[in-house]
Structure 1
Amino acid sequence: MEAPAVHRPVPGEPPSVFLAGGITHCPPWQSEAARELADFVVFNPRRTDFDVSDPSQTDVQIAWEYAHLLRADLTLFWFPACDAVLTVQPITLYELGAAAATPGRRLVVGADPGYPRRADVITQLSLSRPGLTVHPTLPETLAAAHTALTTRA
C-alpha cells in the first residue's frame, strides 16, 4: 500500500506494518522491506512519483502518513546511512519519539552503523523503551519485524 492510496481494511487480512524512515537523500530501502514483508499489509510512504515542490501534495503526504502510522499494527523504523552526510531524518526522529512515548505501540527499530545519530537513537530508546533492540542492518530489522508480526499480540 503506497502513499497516497487509501487502505480499506478487510476482515481476516494479515497484520499491518508502517515503514517509517528516511526517504529524502536516502536509498530506496522501502522496496526491499516491502518485498520481505509481502505476507503482511505494508504501508509504504515512499511514493514512486512525488512532487515535493507542490505544497498540496506535501499536506496529502503528511496526512496519509499520520493516519497510517496510527492504523498500523507495527511500526518499523529504519535509519539508513544516507548519501547526504547531513541528512539526519528529523521527521523520522520526531515520529520515533512520538511512537516510543505511546504505551502499547509496537515498534521494531534499526539504524545503520553509518547513520550519524545512531547513538542518540540507542540512548533515547534505552530510556523510553528499555530492552528494545536497535538492529544494525536492514535484514536484521526486517527479520525482527517479521517475527513481531507473526507473533501478533
Structure 2
Amino acid sequence: VLVNNAGFNIPGRIAEVRPEDFDRLMAVHAKAPVFLVQQAIERMRDGGRIVNIGSAATRVAFPESLAYAMAKGALEALTLALARELGPRQITVNSVSPGFVKTDMNRRRWSDPEGEAAHAAHSVLGRMGRPEDVADIVAFLASDDARWVTGQSIDASGGSFL
C-alpha cells in the first residue's frame, strides 16, 4: 500500500500566486507522487493499493487557494491514469478528497470558535472533519474490501457545498 498524503497550502488568488510558491505546491502535490509511485510499482505486489489524498477544492471554485487546487487537480488526473495502467496487475488506485478537516494545515480555519463555526456550516453534517474521518476511508481503500474500487475520487467533505 502506498498512501500519498503529503500536503500543505500557500493561499493565494490569481494575482497573488508567486512562481516559487506554485512550484513548491506542484512539487509536493503532483511531482512527488509521480516519482514515489514510479519507485513503488517496481516493489509492489500484484493486488496492491495506491491511495492519493486529494482535496474537495478540485470540485468547487476555490480561488483563495488557486495553485493548491490546481496541484490537487493534477493528483486527480494521476489517479485516473494510474488506475487504468495498473489495473492489469490488480493494483487499485483511488483518491480521497477531504474538505475542511481539523488538522494543523487548517488550524487558521478552526483556531477560534467563529472560524470553526463558519467552516463547519459548509458541511451538511454541521461540523468540520476529523482526521479519523479521512483515515477510515483510506483504510477501507487499502483493504481487500475495496478490491473492486479503482479510479475513484471519494468525497470526504461531509457533504460540503452541496
Structure number, greater radius of gyration = 2
Query: Could you say whether these structures have the same fold, taking a TM-score greater than 0.5 normalized by the shorter chain as the test?
Result: no
**What TM-score does the superposition give when structure 1 sets the normalisation length?**
0.37
Q: Which structure has more helix as a fraction of its residues?
A: 2
